[in-house]
Amino acid sequence: MQTVILERNMEIGGGLCGDEVPLPGFVTNTCATNVRFYSTPCFRDFNLGDYGLSHVFPKAGQGMIFDDETCLVTYPVHEVVDGKTGRTERSSANLDKTLREISRFSERDAETVADLVERVERRWLDAYRTYMFNPPPPWGTKDALEELLDDPVLGIEPRWSVMTGTEFILELFESPEMQCYFMRAIQTSTGNWPEDVMGLFNLVHTVILGLNFHPHATVRGGSHIVAHALQKAFTERGGKFFVGSEVDKVLVENGKATGVRLMDGTIVGARQLVVSDVDATQTMLRFVGEDHFDHKLARKVKNIRYDRMSAAFWGTLAVHELPNYYAEAFNPDCAAMPRTLIGPKDPFYLAEVQKLECFTMGIPNKLCWYAGPDTIWDGTRAPAGKHLLQVEQYTGNRRFFSKEKWGEFRREYPKELVRQYQIYCPNMTEDNVIASYFDTCEETVARNLNMVDSCVSVGAMIPSQMGRFRPIPELAGYKTPVSNLYICSAATHVGGGIRGSCGYNAYKVIAGDFDLKKHWEEAGRSY
């Protein structure tokens, strides 16, 4: 087939965006960061390492730095042993280190983690991959994660699947350190709040990331390099792409998609199929129009929720020197975690108060943020001797505040961040900060229209919008009511995150419809 990508923005990549901010010489991931693309079928199938995509794998994993000068550090249970293929192997030494760190707070919590590790390695990890990289089965056929509910020894306890994040965490862990760590990890892994019901995927996903089964990685040169590598592989195989080419309508004749019309009136015909990589709301209501499908489907589309993973202060601090945490006396490795969580050792605050303050004040009294000290491992992204800290802080939903108020938050948040950084490290003063750059909901949605209300997962990742229900049942199979019109964005299963799974699974459906090459079968993969 002759294939073309039509992109509204002036570069392709969506959330894989990088900008030279806050100053020349500092390259910030202004959306997706800490990308583990090495673990995807796409990375291997297209040999993306040959197109300039390389990852750096730090020795520590993720953890949390607390306000009492202690910290929790975890280490990759699986380590990447082949950067070319993304192959990992178990590291018993790292597991032992993680368990020792947890046992400093609670021996029982260390035992719980050891049990979770056994479950993940023997059952959960294979089920997780099979779930992510296959289209969801129809209702009545259990998916790979639902099958785990039937295993009383190594599976998932059925009650966990309907628990809120807070319930699940309090049931598993007794130490406030592990409770706080996983409460904040839920946010950065799924975009949900601890009080939300997790559902099977979010539960397994949070555990797998929290215990470093997919080792955290830094893309050399910034996350946008993933988009560069994909584009090179695409064009080498004959694909074409056009930026600054916003689609206005999908052309439909006799119930079949026949092409698209751009905003400037240009018609691009399609002999075979049209695939939308934007949100379901825009795809169905704007591109197609309600006259091509029934009112019940239109109502469901209009009610898709975009109120999770929908608001964050996202940006960077350019600094003269990296933070010197008080907690380094507790464990010096806390200074070099690629996924550093920072916040109060207060489970009640994180579970109950934080969201209330975010929703009513925008900037909570106690910040609880993610910091990625990427330039420890990738010196290409900052001038020599300088560093950047990638920051993510959740806040209230976009619709809760006016555009003017978001502008005020954008100015005030960096000041408050530097002030609260000093609770955890003495050198993070205003003099150490060269400059800062932060996006709010307003900037995020302006850059990517498909991130409705700045929902970077292109639809809340809540149980009612996951798997065979994502975004709604009628669209969950990557097809639409319009013949030969497919949808492959993060609006579909498995959701947000740079996994390549949505497009990969959509291709599986298209390959079946058009008798195309089945790469997964040739590679001998179950997914």
Average pLDDT value for residue range 273-290: 96
Residue 480 lies in a domain: no
pLDDT in the model for residue 67: 97
Of 128, 46, 44, the residue nearest 86 (C-alpha): 44
pLDDT in the model for residue 524: 87
pLDDT in the model for residue 326: 98
Quote the domain boundaries for residue 334: 18-222+307-447
- pLDDT confidence of 319, banded at 50, 70, 90? very high
> Which are the contacts of 470, defined by CB distance < 8 A and separation ≥ 6?
136, 459, 476, 491, 492, 493, 494, 495
At 4-28, the pLDDT tens digits run: 999 999 999 999 998 999 999 999 9
3-state helix, strand, coil in the chain (%, to 5): 40, 15, 40
Q: Which of 309-313, 341-345, 395-399, 517-521 has the lowest mean pLDDT?
A: 309-313
Residue 207 lies in a domain: yes
Residue 409 lies in a domain: yes
Residue 272 lies in a domain: no
pLDDT in the model for residue 27: 96
Residue 512 lies in a domain: no
Average pLDDT value for residue range 157-178: 97
Higher pLDDT, 312 or 478: 478
- pLDDT confidence of 364, banded at 50, 70, 90? very high
pTM to 2 decimal places:
0.94
The residue type of 330 is F
pLDDT in the model for residue 82: 87
Residue keyed to tokens 């406030």:
176
User: Above 90 in pLDDT, residue 309?
Assistant: no
Bridge partners (DSSP) listed for residue 276: 487
Residue 370 lies in a domain: yes
The kind and range of the H/E element at 80 are: strand 78-82
Are 519 and 237 in contact by the 8 Å Cβ rule? The answer is no
The residue type of 153 is V
At 239-253, the pLDDT tens digits run: 999 999 999 999 999
Average pLDDT value for residue range 168-194: 96
Return d(Cα 139, Cα 35) in angstroms, integer: 32
User: Above 80 in pLDDT, residue 311?
Assistant: no
SS3 track for 416-484? HHHHHHHHHCCCCCCCCEEEEEEECHHHHHHHCCCCHHHCCCCCCCCHHHCHHHCCCHHHCCCECCCEC
pLDDT in the model for residue 73: 97
- pLDDT confidence of 310, banded at 50, 70, 90? confident
Instruction: Quote the percentage of the chain above a pLDDT of 70.
Output: 100
Residue 494 lies in a domain: no
Residue 109 lies in a domain: yes
**Number of structural domains the chain divides into:** 1
pLDDT in the model for residue 526: 81
Mean pLDDT, the chain, integer = 95
At 52-93, the pLDDT tens digits run: 999 999 999 999 999 999 999 999 999 999 888 888 899 999
- Residue 222: count of CB within 10 angstroms of its CB: 26
Q: Which of 78-82, 96-100, 425-429 has the lowest mean pLDDT?
A: 78-82
Rounded to 5°, angle at Cα 354 from 470 and 389: 80
Return d(Cα 434, Cα 287) in angstroms, integer: 44
Q: Which of 77-86, 145-154, 158-167 has the lowest mean pLDDT?
A: 77-86
Return d(Cα 172, Cα 27) in angstroms, integer: 39
The residue type of 101 is E
User: Above 80 in pLDDT, residue 484?
Assistant: yes
Long-range CB contact pairs, 270-274, < 8 A, 24+: 270/484, 272/1, 272/484, 272/514, 273/484, 273/485, 273/486, 273/510, 273/514, 274/250, 274/484, 274/485, 274/486
Average pLDDT value for residue range 294-300: 94
